[in-house]
Chains A and B, each alone.
Chain A
């Protein structure tokens, strides 16, 4: 133990201490800090663009984001920019657009391209992107989509209950919490602490932070590099980067059979009134955002599996649909609310099977053709 402190104090502040004040030599002067500051700013501004040049990413026909990278928003931003430069029309929406029960060559965008006889439509569907998240995705990670034709899919399933509408009090771990507004409007079932919320809000605005998350998502098993090394103790973390990005997703996420064969019964959804719906308000925000950026927005309402609803629920659903289309009509937003697909063309409440997408594509092209 050290010698005791026997100094008697006086009221004046202590002079510079003789005892060691630093236990290392890492003590920078003002000028050195300015140098480090410049380096840090350069790193924040330059690392992500540099990485983009080094990391090969090609958008081939019928490309869709790898399912495992659904939370890689930096890559999504990059994809949306590339797609905007290569395609005439971009289709935004949730897993219905992405194609949950089909391969990439059976999606809505694929059939639209096939029937249009040209590569015009790009699949920008994002698994689990409910309207609150979709609005965040478009706000923060689709800024490069300007002056384009946009088809925005409106899945009314997200208004099918207060829980889907994120209006319940108890904590609910919904999809894409990093895309939703962190502070306003308040999402009651989102119980994250203040500090992580602030961190997410910052990440949404600084591409560098999105890029570091991209590294984790794309190369390090969706975890941070230190945690990754626990499972790969003797691997070189830099070596993994040479693998490159995974190709377009061509997997079938689920068995492509109809909802009736799945044994799903008719349901009585407790629909939420669009006038009070958070999801609908967010969808409206998404439309406004895209329009503000000079895009020509076309809204696809559906394709919802109305066969799955009980009579009472169908009645309520019609009211919701009427309110939604009325708003679109009033705002002069072109839209289509095609009739439901045949019952056997649905895999569940909202996802079509391959033949359903094919039929929907035909209906859509007929509607939009002059």
Chain B
């Protein structure tokens, strides 16, 4: 159930009025939101197994925190059980195929005749233990949509409770709602219990500003997704599906287009998610803050997928030691965090390399970014271009369908001809307009003031609505990050 489809409009038209009535009764409100969220999730694949998985991971985390509170001496054990179960589900559904495939290649190279079975065999073996006939067995392991998001959200609660940073949530229904809250269930922002749970514990206040802000957020997100991301995807897809047929300009422009596509796609989704939550009186965190206006790689990661980067910082980087144990250890911790972040995105070597490149980039530039020369002598626009260039280069590995394709693209960018890239001028114009807007918004207070003038804001909204209604074609193309 995509936000920009008619079916979501119907769903929300049913959920919202009832929510407005029941929100004054906290138990009822949470129950209603939980039912709505589980319905929303069920609407993706009409598969009850995924509901069971969502319920199961939530229930385990809820229980672990309860027993942690009652048995302080063994709370580490309960934490480990919680983490193992979360990572177990995530590992099985997301990484088991990748691991099996690579282990089988390794075993083959070692001359072994032993081959690991398709991971679905383990699930089917478990089913057979319960007497389920083979006609009901699964044929493949299907990645449940948004598993990485809701698992991480649920896990953060367990870890924060273990650390004593949050109070134990006693209401099971409220906790289920926290994990499954439909605006951000399938692609974030990955909310912390410290932000969302207190909002679920009281009656959300809905003011006129919440409604207008929610509408603004939703419309901007809708425009990013439908008018920009889906449009860019058309060019990117045709180049990346057959990179051998394209030359340097097309490959470079398709990569730049993908950099914007993924930004518009993902930030568009979170804008819509935040907008929907806002009209319900909930405040979800800002997930993207003009990342292509970043002046350093550290700055980039404080602007890109903020809810995930802060998650990794809090639950991976700091537990590893952060920057407390000297330069070498800091670099090691940064490296590990970035590589794990890469793997989080998908079970493929391309994501690993993407993570490694960002880790290396961050390590190499960390000290440079701190120098007075970089901070004061290098013009801001130059820094922004440098960061954008590096980040865009890494997107090649993120988008390429395989490692071989990524290698081919990089090679061809530097060695093929200069054929006409045939990129639509309308596409280039739209991207340049958005880029210029972001730079004007972030780079100087004076230009930001101009953008904040009512005629400019209203004029832009009217332009976006007109474009959406006449030019753009609403599609049912899924969001890129749903696959993670």
A residues at B contact (CB < 8 Å): 1-2, 4-14, 17, 19-30, 32-33, 35-36, 39-40, 43-44, 47, 193-196, 198-199, 202, 208, 212, 215-216, 224-227, 229-230, 232-234, 237
* B72 in the interface (beta carbon within 8 A): no
CB distance from B206 to the nearest CB of A (A): 13
B465 at the interface (CB under 8 A from A): yes
Q: Report 20 cross-chain contacts, Cβ distance below 8 Å, ordered by A residue.
A: A1-B310, A2-B301, A5-B192, A5-B314, A23-B288, A25-B456, A26-B461, A28-B212, A32-B212, A32-B454, A35-B458, A195-B8, A196-B476, A199-B6, A224-B472, A225-B472, A226-B231, A230-B422, A233-B422, A233-B425
Q: How far is the CA of A156 from the CA of B165 in the complex (A)?
A: 75
Write the B417-432 contact mask toward A (1 if CB under 8 angstroms, else 0).
0000011111100000
Question: What is the chain B residue whose CB lies nearest that of A199?
Answer: B6
The residues of A that contact B193 with a CB separation of less than 8 Å are 9
Chain A, Cβ-Cβ closest to B309:
A1
Beyond A26-B220, A198-B6, A224-B472, whether A14 also contacts B195 by CB under 8 A is yes
Q: Contact string, B225-248, partner A, CB cutoff 8 A, digits 1/0?
A: 000001100110010000000000
Q: Which bracket fits the contact residues of B? A: 35 or more
Q: Could you say which of A8, A24, A30 has the most chain B C-beta atoms within 10 Å of its C-beta? A: A24
Q: How far, in angstroms, from A2 to B309 measured CA to CA in the complex? A: 8
A2 engages B310 (CB within 8 Å): yes
When distances are taken between beta carbons in the complex, the residues of chain A under 8 Å from B10 are: 198
Set of chain B residues within 8 Å of A40, measured between Cβ atoms: 465, 469
**A204 shortest CB reach to chain B, Å:** 13
Bound state CA distance, A272 and B108, in angstroms? Answer: 61
Tell me which residues across on chain A come within 8 A of B443, comparing CB atoms.
none
With both beta carbons as reference points, the residue of chain A lying nearest to B219 in the complex is identified as A26
CB contacts (< 8 Å) of B201 on chain A: these are: 11, 13
Known contacts A30-B212, A237-B426; is-contact A25 B448 (Cβ 8 Å)? yes
Closest CB of chain B to A208's CB: distance in Å?
7
Are A1 and B302 within 8 A (Cβ)? yes
Contact indicator per residue, chain B 97-132, by CB within 8 Å of chain A (1) or not (0): 000000000000000000000000000000000000
* Min CB–CB distance A17 → chain B (angstroms): 7
Chain B residue nearest to A2 (CB atoms) is: B302
Q: Of the candidates B424, B454, B460, which one forms a contact with A233 in the assembled complex, judged by CB atoms under 8 Å apart? A: B424
In the complex the two chains form, what is the Cα distance from A7 to B312 in whole Å?
Answer: 17
Judge whether A28 and B194 touch: CB under 8 Å: no
Chain A residue at smallest Cβ distance from B7: A195
Q: Give Cα A125–Cα B204 distance, bound, in whole angstroms.
A: 58
Beta-carbon contact of A26 and B216 below 8 Å: yes
Verify B194–A9 contact, CB threshold 8 A: yes
Query: Once the chains bind, are B285 and A25 in contact (CB under 8 Å)?
Result: no
Q: A7-B194, A14-B195 are in contact. Are A22 and B286 (CB under 8 A)?
A: yes
Query: From A34, which residue of chain B is reached at the shortest CB distance?
Result: B212
User: Beyond the given A23-B267, A27-B212, A212-B470, could you list 20 further A-B residue pairs with CB under 8 A, ordered by the A residue number?
Assistant: A1-B313, A2-B313, A4-B314, A5-B194, A5-B314, A11-B198, A13-B198, A13-B201, A17-B283, A20-B289, A21-B283, A23-B289, A25-B457, A28-B457, A30-B212, A35-B458, A36-B465, A195-B6, A198-B9, A229-B426
B441 near A226 (CB under 8 angstroms)? Answer: no
Q: Which listed residue, A12, A39, A43, A212, touches B202 by the CB 8 Å rule? A: A12
The answer to whether B290 touches A33 (Cβ under 8 A) is no
| CB–CB A27/B216 < 8 A | yes
B462 interface residue (CB < 8 Å to A):
yes
Residue from A5, A30, A216, A234 within 8 A of B310 (CB atoms):
A5
Task: State A13–B317 Cα separation when bound (angstroms).
Answer: 28
Instruction: Give the distance in Å from the alpha carbon of A40 to the alpha carbon of B2 in the complex.
Output: 23
Ranked nearest first, the 10 interchain pairs of A and B with the lowest CB-CB distance are A224-B473, A229-B424, A198-B6, A9-B194, A195-B7, A2-B302, A195-B5, A226-B231, A25-B451, A233-B424
Most buried by B among A6, A19, A28: A28
What A residues does B8 contact at CB under 8 A? 195
In Å, the complex CA distance between A329 and B398 comes to 69
The residue in chain A whose Cβ has the minimal distance to the Cβ of B467 is A225
**B452 to A199, Cβ gap below 8 A?**
no
Which residue of chain B has the shortest Cβ distance to A225 in the bound complex? B471
The interface centre, meaning the residue of B6, B197, B314, B438 with most chain A CB atoms within 10 A of its CB, is B6
A297 to chain B, nearest CB (A): 35
Q: Is the CB of A230 within 8 A of B238?
A: yes
Is B56 in the interface zone, CB < 8 Å from A?
A: no
Question: Given the complex of chains A and B, what is the CA–CA distance between A226 and B430 in angstroms?
Answer: 11
Chain B at the A interface: SS class: helix
CB of B208 closer than 8 Å to a CB of A? yes
Instruction: Give the contacting residue for B474; candidates A10, A199, A230; CB below 8 A.
Output: A199
Give the distance in Å from the alpha carbon of A19 to the alpha carbon of B219 in the complex: 22
Nearest A residue (CB) for B43: A194
Q: Which residues of B contact A11 (CB under 8 A)?
A: 167, 198, 201
Interface pair B310/A4, CB less than 8 Å apart: yes
Cβ B198 vs Cβ A28 within 8 A: no
Residues of chain B from 297 to 348 with CB closer than 8 A to chain A in the complex:
298, 301-302, 306, 309-310, 312-314, 317-318
Chain B residues lying within 8 Å of A29, measured Cβ to Cβ, are: 212
- Residues from chain A with a CB closer than 8 A to the CB of B47 are none
Chain B residues 237-291 with CB under 8 Å of chain A are 238, 267, 283, 285-286, 288-290
B285 cross-chain contacts in A, Cβ below 8 A = 19
Using CB atoms, name the residue of chain A closest to B440: A25
B424 surroundings in chain A (CB, below 8 A): 226, 229-230, 232-234
Determine the distance from Cα of A236 to Cα of B70 in the docked complex, in whole angstroms.
70
**Chain A CB within 8 A of B390 CB:** no
Asked whether B471 lies within 8 Å of A226 as measured between CB atoms, the reply is: yes
Distance, CA A78 to CA B288, complexed state (A): 46
Shortest CB–CB separation between residue B269 and chain A, in angstroms?
14
B369 within 8 A of A: no
A233 vs chain B, min Cβ distance (A): 4
CB distance from B301 to the nearest CB of A (A): 5
A360–B234 Cα distance when bound, in Å, is 50
Residues of A within 8 A of B312 (CB): 1
Q: How far is the CA of A225 from the CA of B473 in the complex (A)?
A: 8
B120 → chain A, closest Cβ, in Å? Answer: 27
Q: Is B49 an interface residue (CB 8 A)?
A: no
B213 at the A interface (CB under 8 A): yes
Which of the residues B7, B194, B289, B461 comes within 8 Å of A36, measured between beta carbons?
B461
Question: Closest approach, in angstroms, between the C-beta of A198 and any C-beta of chain B?
Answer: 4
Q: Which of A27, A30, A232 has the most CB of B within 10 A?
A: A27
Is B466 in the interface zone, CB < 8 Å from A?
yes
Task: Indicate whether B166 reaches chain A with its CB closer than 8 angstroms.
Answer: yes
Task: Answer whether residue B437 sits at the interface, using C-beta atoms and an 8 A cutoff.
Answer: yes
Residues on A with C-beta less than 8 A from B39 are: none
CB distance from B479 to the nearest CB of A (A): 15
Pick from B2, B198, B213, B310: contact of A10, CB below 8 A.
B198
Indicate if the CB atoms of B167 and A208 lie closer than 8 Å: no
Nearest CB in chain B to that of A202: its residue:
B6
B199 an interface residue at 8 Å Cβ cutoff? yes
Q: Which residues of chain B are near A7, meaning CB under 8 Å? A: 194
B215 within 8 A of A: yes
Q: Would you call A9 and B290 a contact (CB within 8 A)?
A: no
Instruction: Judge whether A233 and B423 touch: CB under 8 Å.
Output: yes
Residues of chain B lying within 8 A (CB to CB) of residue A9: 165-167, 193-194, 197-198
Residue from A9, A13, A39, A196 with most neighbouring chain B CB atoms (10 Å): A13
Scoring B219, B302, B424, B448 by chain A CB atoms within 10 A of each residue's CB, the highest score goes to B424
